[in-house]
Amino acid sequence: MIQCAAAFLYAMSSSVLLAIVLGFACGGLNTAAALVSLSGGACVGLFSLLRRRPCAPGRGPRGWEWCAVALFAWFTVRAFLWLVTVEGDEIKTVVWNNVGDLSLHLGFIRYLANGAPFWPESPIFAGGKLTYALGSDLFNSLLVLAGIDVYRGLVVVGIICCAISGVALWRWGRAFTMAGFLCNGGFVALVLFLPHSIAEAVTGSPVGFPAAEGWPTVVDLQGAIAWKSIPVSMFITQRGFLFALPAGLLLLCSWRARFFGGQGADEWRMPFWGEYLLYVAMPIFHVHSFIALSLMLGAFFLARPDLRNPLFRFVGLALLPATALVWLPMGMLQSSPPPMVYDMSEVDNPPPSPASNVMGWKPGWMIDDEVTRSGVTALGGDPAVPTAGAWVARFAYFWLLNFGVLPFLVVALIVMMLRMVLRRNIRIRRAFLWCGGTLLLCSFLNGWEHYRTGELFGDPRAVDGISMTPLLAAVLAAIAGAMQPKDRNSRMMRGWLFAVAALFAVGASLPPAFAALRSVPVNALPLLAAMVVTVWLLLRVGSDWHAPLWPAVFVLPAVYIFFLCCFVKFAPWEWDNTKVMIWPYLIVLPFVWDFVISRFRFWSRVVVCELLFFSGFITLTGALRPEMPYRTVASRSELETVERAVRGIPITEPILAHPTHDHPLILIGRRVALGYPGHIASHGMSPTRHQNHITAIMRGAWDWRILAAELGAHHLFWGRREQSEYGAGEQDWRESQLVGSGPDFEVFDITTPSLPVEAAGN
């Protein structure tokens, strides 16, 4: 089964890569290019099956493991068999929070199938190239060109990729990892035992009672919290994960066998070309997964000196193609908001465009979001009070609500990894004593005032107004105090850790003494310290490598990647960091079971698993319960009528329309000047200027011609959505040529007749 799963991923990635080459060569996709791409991918997949290596069969499910397998099978059928259905004239979906993303992906699929030139202009943002890893949508567009219905193609690809993901999850970490993927969550399920008003404030959405604005009566425990249900919020909606999740897990399984002698695996591994193909193709499907896997390769490079040459060759061979495939989803660095045009003379020679903003610095991740604040307030706290106690309470509330007991299990796992790396020269009791003592010392130094106001080193940039320096000093002191060095290097490392901890603990009360460090961002210090410690530990593993140390090479960098995501946002919306966080989460799950939970007594294991998975199970089954009502995506008759009306407009032409996720122009694969603003913002663009321009044009502003020229739009769509949003008035563009119409819409060519700009104000 694992061979068939890998073969499908080879075929899928090869088809997409070949389609990109043919798309550039032919100026876009067509039926011939699609058939050649799919045939080439099928040949690669068949070749892998014919040349497969024999491997030991994996152990099948036993006992309680069948529960995880059965739950995953139910999720696969329920989520993807009813992903999109056509009933009469209505196109529906059963996953409510997938309506916006499903519309976007349908638009991308049809836009590519309509022959958009490569690399395509953004179909939802006038002014630049498409900034999206569209590998999965490109694969579905090939199926559409090959004659497969677009809705059936979505269902079939979803079911196959979900089944392959189940195989990969089982191979990586068996039933516990599979359950962790399906039922991630913290203590949010406790809101079921609270009054409804408090539960709604904690989760940011209705819980088990009727909500306003059409939301059904449903037990929805993810709401607006940070660590949402992975299968509901990411795997179903973010189609890139359909490839990235199974491909990334199979790469980790293969690397575990290749670089660490099959320790903990069943000796299965891909051929070198298979690893190379999936790794190189990853950016075109999911850039965030590519980042996480690349960081893991860097950790392997540090921890295994004897493997540095093959790792260097692997990464060196992948560097150029992978960089090119990262460059494409970044819009070839040509996507940015359009410049301001002040008169018609600048239309042909516009000023430079401002740059877009994607990555950023966000210490604390989402600890200061509105849901956390409202939840603390609902439970009787006051997050606005700037005290250390209030910050600690909000910190504990955020992490317990989202992750529950998982952080405690991971801390225990890290301690065990440190004991392995340092050869048991570490004492947990001393770690807690030093940690508590350092925090107590910091609390007396200057009464926490400098920490509360973030005045350390004269730098006000503290996490949420409170410096993390006391916490950093406590962690460093705990690590140093727990060490029991038996060699010179360990003693030196312990001394340096104590010195740095003392510097951070005492330095806050003496800011003039550290004037040279005032330019150092305080918030960066914990991240830099964690990076130094992680690199040192990996080098320590490499200097004295022996086979039992291999779990530390996965756990330590994975924990650091998660910590990195708590400081750096890899997308404009900080929640998108979960697309990277999912990888350290899945990486550590098998080790949490093997090194921590499996050592508990049976009933203790049962309790821990219930605490870990109860909230996620309620969220998963609540969002996909059988009686869940369908949500209408679009009307088939409306889409067909609009498609006929705009058939004469070039596919590259952006059309002015109301920016919403379910606009018929988007669903039939046509370009609009602006799509749903939330999608635009998540792609690194600011929709504000486009939105203001469209509003002014639709309402007939005197300079509507200049605004339309700035957006590069020559056509305007006026339908029921536009009428409802902007109202009927005396818009001058109504005098333009009517090029298409339907029962409740009209399409205008606003460049015909060509009138002087002055006429727009008359």
pLDDT in tens, 407-441: 889 988 988 888 888 765 555 556 555 555 555 55
Q: For 101-110, 175-184, 188-197, 306-315, which range has the lowest pLDDT when averaged over its residues? A: 188-197
What are the structure tokens assigned to 710, written together? Answer: 């700035």
pLDDT in tens, 488-539: 666 676 676 677 767 666 554 444 444 444 444 555 667 777 787 888 888 8
User: Taking 70 as the threshold, does the pLDDT of residue 749 lie above it?
Assistant: yes
Give me the pLDDT at residue 470, please: 57
Mean local confidence (pLDDT), 31-50: 93
Q: Name, in order, each residue with C-beta under 8 angstroms of 647's C-beta and a sequence gap of 6 or more.
A: none
Q: How does DSSP classify residue 511? A: G
CA–CA separation, 649 and 559 (whole Å)? 52
CA–CA separation, 605 and 611 (whole Å)? 10
Q: Name, in order, each residue with C-beta under 8 angstroms of 727's C-beta and a sequence gap of 6 or more.
A: 699
Q: How does DSSP classify residue 674? A: B
CB burial of 424-451 (b: ≥16 within 10 Å; e: otherwise) equals: ebbbeeebeebbeebbebbeebbebebb
182 with 99: CB under 8 angstroms? no
CA–CA separation, 221 and 618 (whole Å)? 7
Pick the residue with more confidence: 464 or 554?
A: 554
Domain residue extents for the chain: 2-336, 636-761
120 with 130: CB under 8 angstroms? yes
* Beta pairing class for 90-93 and 85-87: antiparallel
Give me the pLDDT at residue 745, please: 87
CA–CA separation, 574 and 568 (whole Å)? 9
Quote the distance between the C-alpha of residue 610 and its chain's center.
26
- For residue 679, give the nearest of 101, 123, 222 by alpha carbon: 101
CA–CA separation, 762 and 757 (whole Å)? 10
pLDDT in tens, 294-349: 999 999 988 888 888 889 899 999 999 999 998 888 876 665 554 444 444 444 55
Give me the pLDDT at residue 148, please: 92
User: Taking 70 as the threshold, does the pLDDT of residue 208 lie above it?
Assistant: no
| DSSP H/E element including 742 | strand 737-742
- Using omega within 30 degrees of 0 as the cis cutoff, is the peptide bond preceding 650 cis? no
HSE-CB for 667 with a 13 A CA cutoff: 23
3-class SS at 745? strand
Mean local confidence (pLDDT), 70-95: 88
Q: What percent of the chain shows pLDDT beyond 70? A: 73
Mean pLDDT of the chain: 79
User: Taking 60 as the threshold, does the pLDDT of residue 56 lie above it?
Assistant: yes
What are the structure tokens assigned to 132, written together? Answer: 């999206």
CA–CA separation, 700 and 309 (whole Å)? 65
Give me the pLDDT at residue 146, please: 93
pTM above 0.75, yes or no: yes
Q: For 71-75, 79-83, 391-395, 441-445, which range has the lowest pLDDT when averaged over its residues? A: 441-445
Q: For 242-246, 268-272, 359-363, 585-589, which range has the lowest pLDDT when averaged over its residues? A: 359-363
What are the structure tokens assigned to 408, written together? Answer: 């405690």
If pLDDT is split at 50, 70 and 90, which confidence band does 719 have? confident
Within 10 angstroms of residue 122's Cβ, the number of other Cβ atoms is 23
User: Taking 70 as the threshold, does the pLDDT of residue 211 lie above it?
Assistant: no
Mean local confidence (pLDDT), 727-750: 83
CA–CA separation, 412 and 418 (whole Å)? 10
- For residue 179, give the nearest of 60, 275, 66 by alpha carbon: 66
3-class SS at 290? helix
Give me the pLDDT at residue 452, please: 42
pLDDT in tens, 181-192: 999 888 877 776
Give me the pLDDT at residue 375, please: 67
User: Taking 50 as the threshold, does the pLDDT of residue 484 lie above it?
Assistant: yes
Within 10 angstroms of residue 536's Cβ, the number of other Cβ atoms is 15
* 221 burial via Cβ count (<10 Å: 0-12, 13-18, 19+): buried
Pick the residue with more confidence: 485 or 36?
A: 36
User: Taking 90 as the threshold, does the pLDDT of residue 164 lie above it?
Assistant: yes
User: Taking 80 as the threshold, does the pLDDT of residue 386 lie above it?
Assistant: no
Pick the residue with more confidence: 630 or 649?
A: 649
Give me the pLDDT at residue 203, please: 61
Give me the pLDDT at residue 8, please: 95
- Using CA atoms, how far residue 432 sits from 338, 436, 444, 475, in Å, is 55, 6, 19, 9
Mean local confidence (pLDDT), 274-292: 93
DSSP letter for each residue of 234-269: IITT-TTHHHHHHHHHHHHHHHHHHHSTTTTS-S--
Mean local confidence (pLDDT), 220-245: 83
Q: How many residues does the chain have?
A: 762
Which segments within 58-175 are labelled E, that is strand? 85-87, 90-93
If pLDDT is split at 50, 70 and 90, which confidence band does 274 have? very high
Give me the pLDDT at residue 391, please: 64
Pick the residue with more confidence: 19 or 685?
A: 19
124 with 680: CB under 8 angstroms? yes
Give me the pLDDT at residue 471, please: 57
- Using CA atoms, how far residue 305 sits from 72, 301, 312, 575, 625, in Å, is 39, 7, 11, 36, 51
CA–CA separation, 201 and 203 (whole Å)? 6
Mean local confidence (pLDDT), 91-118: 87
What are the structure tokens assigned to 720, written together? Answer: 């029921």
CA-only gyration radius of the chain, Å: 28
Q: For 25-34, 215-224, 265-274, 619-628, which range has the lowest pLDDT when averaged over its residues? A: 215-224
What are the structure tokens assigned to 461, written together? Answer: 């940039």
